[in-house]
Amino acid sequence: MIRFILLQNRQGKTRLAKYYVPLEESEKHKVEYEVIHFSLFLLCFTLVLCCFLILNYSQVHRLVVNRDSKFTNFVEFRTHKVIYRRYAGLFFSLCVDITDNELAYLECIHLFVEILDHFFSNVCELDLVFNFHKVYLILDEFILAGELQETSKRAIIERMSELEKLE
Amino acid sequence: MTGMRGLSVFISDIRNCQNKEAERLRVDKELGNVRTCFKNEKVLTPYKKKKYVWKMLYIHMLGYDVDFGHMEAVSLISAPKYPEKQVGYIVTSCLLNENHDFLRLAINTVRNDIIGRNETFQCLALTLVGNIGGRDFAESLAPDVQKLLISSSCRPLVRKKAALCLVRLFRKNPDAINADGWADRMSQLLDERDLGVLTSSTSLLVALVSNNHEAYSSCLPKCVKILERLSRNQDVPQEYTYYGIPSPWLQVKAMRALQYFPTIEDPSTRKALFEVLQRILMGTDVVKNVNKNNASHAVLFEALSLVMHLDAEKEMMSQCVALLGKFISVREPNIRYLGLENMTRMLMVTDVQDIIKKHQSQIIISLKDPDISIRRRALDLLYGMCDVSNAKDIVEELLQYLSTAEFSMREELSLKAAILAEKFAPDLSWYVDVILQLIDKAGDFVSDDIWFRVVQFVTNNEDLQPYAASKAKEYLDKIAIHETMVKVSAYILGEYGHLLARQPGCSASELFRILHEKLPTVSTPTIPILLSTYAKLLMHTQPPDPELQKQIWAVFKKYESCIDVEIQQRAVEYFELSKKGGAFIDVLAEMPKFPERQSSLIKKAEDVEDTADQSAIKLRAQQQPSNALVLADPQPVNGAPPPLKVPVVSGSTDPESVARSLSQPNGTLSNIDPQNPSPDLLSDLLGPLAIEAPPGADSSEQHGHIGAEGAPDEVDGSAIVPVEEQPNTVELIGNIAERFHALCLKDSGVLYEDPNIQIGIKAEWRGHHGRLVLFLGNKNISPLTSVQALILPPAHLKLELSPVPDTIPPRAQVQSPLEVMNIRPSRDVAVLDFSYKSGTNVVSAKLRIPAVLNKFLQPLQLTSEEFFPQWRALTGPPLKLQEVIRGVRPLALPEMANLFNSFHVTICPGLDPNPNNLVASTTFYSESTGAMLCLARIETDPADRTQLRMTVGTGDPTLTFELKEFIKEQLIAIPTSRALVPAAGPGPGQAPPVVQPPSPVIAADDPGAMLAGLL
């Protein structure tokens, strides 16, 4: 099951955080700090290896930065695993159980990004900043109780437009 | 939400902040603003409230504490209109968690939304409960959510949320779903056509079967059907295919569910499943598109683990092994990582050593990969695949890698190398070489255990001694060596240096010279070892070398006034002893052999596992009974007198202790009894390394003592068997006795832990009732079977334990409530007789349940007007008992007050005019006595803190006696052995109060512990 999902930029600013297990506030901040610093640590290598990947910070180009070719997307984190994926300046991290299927969750991140991209048509970090409330709504249609709820992009986008009409 | 200008402006402001300080100011300003608005209800329109609550969430996300306004967020949930309600629900589920009391306020509203007609509201409510619902929600909402899930009138949208909401409720309270009634429904749910609902339902199934697979066996064929449908791409809408693969997530989930069933008996189902698996194994190709590749390999790896689980036919297994062999050599890091991980798992299910060995060089390359995740997996696999045939190569690689490995891995690496060297050493000299190299290359990361172990081996193997001594000498000749190397070399040369005497440059005086050169470079703990070595060198010089003697005596003289007590004592004693000639030789005779013992390294490795949670090695370590070089003579070493024991004690600074110990009857806690392992964390190793001889008597006690430090001799005759001495086949983690005592004073914590299972406990006490919940957590990736838990209740407690499931699935936790009722006062303890099977290994343990007398006490503070009339009303025995207690653990008054408060006997300050006295009160609850006021008075003697007079009074003679005895136990015993005192019997008349022998053991002046420090 997914313990938490985090969306952070390279400066470590949290753009989305959702916990499916109860954590104390101080604990949350610690987790967020550690996750991003580990990611950044890996990033140092990435930067050296593939300078061409450094794009406009706030521009999320899906499929542009798949991953660098040297590192896994899995980091063993305390007694769990963090599956992370980097899209330009944004890190998407999922903390899952140690026995969970890593690749399935890795693609789960990508599906989420595709959904965001569809919804905001060509999403960028600013979209997520100013519409963070919408991101939470989308996430609630995508993941519930730490489990995948819906894997059809169309179903989620349709649901979102249904909800927008209600406002 | 559109047009929430205030929110956008605020976000822009934050973005424009130049630095963190400016940002904080802006945030503080906003929080102040929000706070004022929340206070002024009148102007707070729903729109404003909504806006502020969003701002709070944003501020919270930035990492600032938002400690107010929760109420406002929760209250929005009950707003009548969607926009406000939605904000309320979303923000609440981000700001609060299941432990917040505010959430309870909302239960009714949430329930109304769930059972109401408004679909949108239903969705919001289900989402909240699914994300943060706790036990309260599980208890009150599960039936409603179940209804929604199977309702034919609900849209798939609602049903999939209901399914996952139910997953959450089930996890919080497994009783929320009754398997008997639900199994058929669950099975029907899996016939669902809508893949969204089906995905959620499969998650629900996984949660359910992980707890109880038998009840849901009818779902097994359904899972296979789902897999068939997906793998043939039948009836899969386009939107559910991901890069051409029919919902990879659903495939993974369905295969995961199947892994909870122990086997598949129905031949046609089995055949169908194997066809699917075969197709996956054969049909997955590497493609260019990363996403497609990941998705198809997600399915493939899940299929692999299902095949491993089903223990399929040889042919299919070898296909899997071939695939894994391919994966561990590919460049793509994720796949390689997973290949390494799964290969390690494969090692456990089937004999693939030979095939894996072909890939050894590839795996070693991964050990040098820049990515730490991969290196860890490679290390694990190398560790797992190591056997006698390749140990040399693998250990050599590990040693080589050690010099370049980053710090975070060095400790694990050196531990693993040490274990492998020990397990698979083709010959002993190689083992010594490896350990010395380890210390040389990574001394900082070599724990003491490792060098203790090498000392044990050398001591137990005569053939090895000359070799070890010459090696030690070699390292000492180097200019700069690690301090641990100084320790181990000094020790070995002290013991066996004389074996080298014929070699050039190895005379005692030369050895002394090179050792003494190191002395200025070492830290305080190493100096005593060097002093011992000098003494031994001196003793071995026959005929005596006056020059050497002079030098060494000068050293002893120098340290005679050392500020470190240990060093000082050794210097003085060795100096005196060395003047005595004959006695000196007796005292410093060679160390006798150590009793055979399980490697503490392997034990430690298991502990390391726990944090890293890589069950693979753990399992392996259990499966392979350590084929360590069993060298120790299992027979007790007779005739080896414990040489240093007597002289040191008699020369010790505390002659009184000897007198005291002599005056004690046999079998009591004697000060110099070498069989009592000192309550030292390192006792496993330090104990035997002390200068005392290994205990001549039974070594079984030594083995069983891991948790038994707290059970010294005083328990004999106890009705409660010292539960820790059960011969368990697993190494326990932590000390059971300590855990028990900790739980006597608090209400939740771990009761028992070994590599397979952790038993936690959580208790609530109300009057004479208690509700405990046992949490049995399987830490392994294989199920624990034949789980049995039986309560052996003492006469005064009524205990009811809900049945524990026979099997605990991998990585699952089951809860088992235990109802306790206290019938009458007694200090007896209930025992949980617990056993389970892991693989073929049966483990059983008897655990004391912390439902002890003080749990039925409720703190109560009285004023003097309330206290004294009651106190006077109780007149003498049997209602009021007085006793002078000696041998009390000396405590300052505030500490004693804390001790009393910790077991719910409340100190009432200022009531007693004498400042050296304490007055306390509490209420005791039991069925026979009802709520009973208890009063106590302690009069201490400031001149002698080891004795005091205690008076206890209650309205019930039994209670008075039991409470008095209980308090006495707390005051006398050293913490670890507390409460092990046998119960004196239920009635006051039956057993006269026995005055406990004073317990003089305090670590600081325990010669046993001091001896342990002497090397």
- The domain locations on chain A are 2-166
CA–CA separation, B725 and B615 (whole Å): 26
Q: What's the predicted TM-score (pTM) here? A: 0.62
Peptide bond connecting B543 to the previous residue in cis, omega within 30 degrees of 0: yes
Question: What are the tokens at B156?
Answer: 């798939």
Q: Is B134 strand, coil or helix?
A: coil
Q: Which residues contact A130 (CB under 8 A, 6 or more apart)?
A: B8, B11
User: What's the pLDDT at B599?
Assistant: 67
Residue A37 pLDDT class (50, 70, 90 cuts)? low
The predicted structure's pLDDT at residue B688: 34
Among A6, A45, A149, A165, most B C-beta atoms within 10 A, so best to mutate, is: A149
Mean pLDDT of B572-584: 80
Sign of CA dihedral A16, A20, A26, A32: negative
Could you tell me the pLDDT band of residue B690, with boundaries at 50, 70 and 90?
Answer: very low
Residue A45 carries which side chain, given as an amino acid letter? F
Place of tokens 């414990």: B642
Size of interface A-B (CB pairs under 8 A): 174
What is the Cα B633 distance to its own chain's centre?
Answer: 33
C-alpha to C-alpha distance for B43 and B714, rounded to whole angstroms: 72
Q: How far is CA B705 from the centre of its chain?
A: 18
Quote the pLDDT of residue A144: 94
What span, in angstroms and rounded, lies between the C-alpha atoms of B484 and B373?
A: 30
The mean pLDDT value for B158-178 works out to: 91
User: Which residue bears the tokens 């069925």?
Assistant: B927
Residues constituting chain A: 167
The pLDDT value recorded for residue B989 is 38
HEC letters along B710-741 = HCCHHHCCCCCCCHHHCCCCCCCCCCHHHHHH
Contact check, Cβ <8 Å, B252/A107: no
**What is the layout of strands, in order, in the sheet containing B813-822?**
B748-753, B757-766, B769-778, B813-822, B797-801
| A26 → chain B, closest CA residue | B65
In this structure, the number of other CB atoms found within 10 A of the CB of residue B582 comes to 7
The angle, 0 to 180 degrees and rounded to 10, between the axes of the packed helices B546-559 and B508-518 is 30
Helix (H, G, I), strand (E, B), or coil: what is residue B845?
Answer: strand
The reply to whether B401 sits in an annotated binding site is no
- B576-635 residues touching A, CB cutoff 8 A: 611-614
On the 0-12 / 13-18 / 19+ scale of CB atoms within 10 A, B108 is: exposed
Residues 6+ apart with CB under 8 A from B868: none
Locate B257 and state its tokens. Answer: 């569910």
The token pair at B77 is: 């949930």
For the residues B59-83, what does the mean pLDDT come to?
86
- pLDDT band at A36, cuts 50/70/90? low
**Among candidate residues B772, B827, B824, B776, the one with its CA nearest the CA of residue B800:** B772
DSSP A64-126: T----SS--SEEEETTEEEEEEEETTEEEEEEE-TTS-HHHHHHHHHHHHHHHHHHTTS-BHH
- In the stretch 77-106 of chain A, residues with CB closer than 8 A to chain B read 79, 97-99, 101-104, 106
State yes or no: pLDDT of B285 exceeds 70. yes
Maximum average pLDDT range among A55-64, B657-666, B835-844: B835-844
Q: Residue ranges of the alpha helices (H) in B284-390?
A: 290-310, 314-327, 333-349, 353-358, 360-366, 372-385
Task: For residues B104 and B109, give the distance between their C-alpha atoms in angstroms, rounded to a whole number.
Answer: 10
Residue B522 among known ligand-binding residues: no
Measured between beta carbons, the chain A residues lying within 8 angstroms of B1 are 133-134, 167
Alpha helices, DSSP H, located in B464-526: 464-477, 483-496, 508-518
Instruction: Please determine, for residue A27, whether its predicted confidence score (pLDDT) is greater than 80.
Output: no
- Structure confidence at residue A41 as a pLDDT band (50, 70, 90): low
Which pLDDT score, from 0 to 100, does residue B666 have?
A: 40
Q: Which residues of A touch B15 (CB under 8 A)?
A: 129
> pLDDT tens, B443-467?
888 888 888 888 888 888 888 888 9
Looking at per-residue pLDDT, the higher value among B304 and B597 belongs to B304
**B579 secondary structure, DSSP code:** T
B905 or A105: which carries more pLDDT confidence?
Answer: A105
Chain B residue with CA closest to A102: the answer is B298
Per-residue model confidence as pLDDT tens digits over B712-764: 333 333 333 333 334 445 777 778 888 888 888 888 888 888 888 888 888 88
Residues 6+ apart with CB under 8 A from A18: A4, A5, A136, A139, A143, B94, B131
B1006 versus A155: which is more confidently predicted? A155
Q: Determine, for residues B164 and A144 on separate chains, whether the beta-carbon distance falls below 8 Å.
A: yes
Question: Do A136 and B94 count as a contact with CB atoms less than 8 A apart?
Answer: yes
B300 pLDDT band, cuts 50/70/90, is: very high
Higher pLDDT: B41 or B936? It is B936
Whole-number Cα distances in Å, B958 to B356, B767, B912, B929, B955: 69, 18, 26, 10, 9
Contact A136 B298 (CB under 8 A): no
Mean pLDDT, residues B351-373 taken together: 84
Residues A60-84, mean pLDDT to the nearest whole number:
61
| Residues B22, B28: Cα–Cα separation, whole Å | 10
Q: How many helices (H) and strands (E) does chain A have?
A: 5, 7
Least confident interval from B55-69, B562-576, B789-803: B789-803
CA nearest neighbour of A146 among A86, A85, A80, A90 = A80
pLDDT digits (tens, 9 = 90+) for B694-715: 333 333 333 434 333 433 333 3
Residue A152 to residue B810, Cβ atoms within 8 A: no
SS3 for B138?
helix
Per-chain mean pLDDT for chain A: 77
On the question of pLDDT at A62 being above 70, the answer is: no
Architecture of domain A2-166: 2-Layer Sandwich (3.30)
Where does the pLDDT of residue B1015 fall: very low under 50, low under 70, confident under 90, or very high at 90 and above? very low
List, in sequence order, the alpha helices (H) in B96-134. Answer: 102-115, 119-132
Least confident segment among B162-171, B263-272, B573-582: B573-582
Contact B127 A144 (CB under 8 A): yes
Whole-number Å distance between alpha carbons of B578 and B736: 44
A111 band by pLDDT with thresholds 50, 70 and 90: very high
Separation of alpha carbons B367 and B484, rounded Å: 27
Nearest one of A131, A65, A52 to A92, comparing CA atoms? A65
Test B8 with A79 for CB contact under 8 angstroms.
no
Would you call B330 helix, strand, or coil by DSSP?
coil
Q: How far is B917 from B932, CA to CA, in rounded Å?
A: 23
More confident site: A77 or B536: B536
Best CA proximity match to B261, nearest among B812, B809, B839, B814: B809
pLDDT greater at residue A89 or residue B165:
B165
Q: Are strands A14-19 and A90-96 parallel, antiparallel or unpaired?
A: unpaired
Looking at residue A158, its pLDDT comes to: 95
**pLDDT higher for B803 or B109?**
B109
Amino acid occupying residue B628: A
B249 closest CB neighbour out of A32, A108, A166: A108
Judge whether residue B585 has pLDDT over 80: no
pLDDT, greater one: B971 or B59: B59
Give the three-class secondary structure for A163. helix
Predicted confidence (pLDDT) per residue in B237-256, tens digit: 999 999 999 999 999 999 99
Q: Can you give the pLDDT at residue B985?
A: 37
Decide if A45 and B252 are in contact by the 8 Å CB cutoff.
Answer: no
* B496 assigned to a ligand binding site: no
Token couple for B115: 């059972």
All domains of chain B in start order, with CATH: 462-591 (no CATH), 636-714+1001-1015 (no CATH), 728-851 (2.60.40.1230), 856-983 (3.30.310.10)
Across the interface, which of B58, B130, B612 has its CB nearest the CB of A144? Answer: B130
Does B507 have pLDDT greater than 50? yes
Each residue of B942-984: pLDDT tens digit?
Answer: 778 788 888 888 888 888 888 888 888 888 765 443 333 333 3
**Which amino acid is it at A112?**
F
What is the least distance, in Å, from the CA of A122 to any CA of chain B?
Answer: 19
Supply the pLDDT for residue B820: 87
Question: Half-sphere exposure of residue B343, counting CA atoms within 13 Å on the CB side?
Answer: 36
Pairing of strands B944-954, B880-885: antiparallel
Q: What is the mean pLDDT of chain B?
A: 78
What pLDDT score was predicted for residue B497?
Answer: 86
Give the number of other Cβ atoms within 10 Å of residue B319's Cβ: 18
Structure tokens at B755: 């590599």
What is residue B962's predicted lDDT score, i.e. its pLDDT? 87
Give long-range contacts, CB 8 A cutoff, 24+ apart: B30-36. Answer: B30/B55, B30/B59, B31/B59, B31/B64, B31/B66, B34/B69, B35/B68, B35/B69
Instruction: Copy the structure tokens of residue B678.
Output: 């000192």
> Which pLDDT value is given to residue B608?
52
Which positions ≥6 away from B208 have C-beta within 8 Å? B170, B177, B179, B182, B186, B215, B216
Neighbours of B373 (CB within 10 A): 22
